[in-house]
Amino acid sequence: MAGKIGISLPMKPIRGQIVLLRLNEQIQQNIVHNGPHYLVPRPDGYVLAGTTLEDVGFEKQTTVKAVREILHFASSMFPQLATAQVQRCWAGFRPASMDGSPFIGPLPGFSNGWVATGHFRWGLYLSPATAVVLSQLMRGVAPQIDLTEFRVDRHVLPLLQNTF
């Protein structure tokens, strides 16, 4: 969308695959993280198991290899997940900026345009803080954090002046 108004935000999609498993009872109450993988147990016996980090463009399909990797991780954490029923598998994309930092702030040249994207796999975690910062910016309040690293125009090179 930014490209349609002449703004360049160097980004790429990173695919993540997830498996929904079904047990007859809850195995754990807490989310388990281990490297790129996680398990999200639910009180109803379902468990979300994920994920992969794949730089494959906009290929959204799931793969047997990734599902096997996720199932291996899940059963290594909780052996009873080895016999859980696979209910569903799906893939989604995380918007990743090319330099690893999200874009947060006003759109250059617009008085009423704002951007918050490129958070990669930390979007859900950082969404409350990002919302606070955007709210502050929109109300003309100085944010409590330095946004220099997150500037929307950080990839725009200054025009070179003719020095001949």
State both tokens at 42.
């639910």
Asked whether residue 160 carries a pLDDT value surpassing 60, the answer given is no
- Domain coordinates in residue numbering, the chain: 11-96, 99-150
What confidence score (pLDDT) does residue 129 get? 93
- Average per-residue pLDDT for the chain: 88
Per-residue pLDDT tens digits for 42-83 = 888 899 999 899 999 999 999 999 999 999 999 999 999 999
pTM assigned to the model: 0.78
Question: Residues 6 or more apart from 39 whose CB is under 8 A from it?
Answer: 28, 31, 32, 47, 48, 49, 74, 77, 78, 81
Q: What is the CATH number of domain 11-96?
A: 3.30.9.10
Strands (E), the chain: 11-22, 32-34, 37-41, 46-50, 85-97, 103-106, 114-117
Residue 128: pLDDT above 50? yes
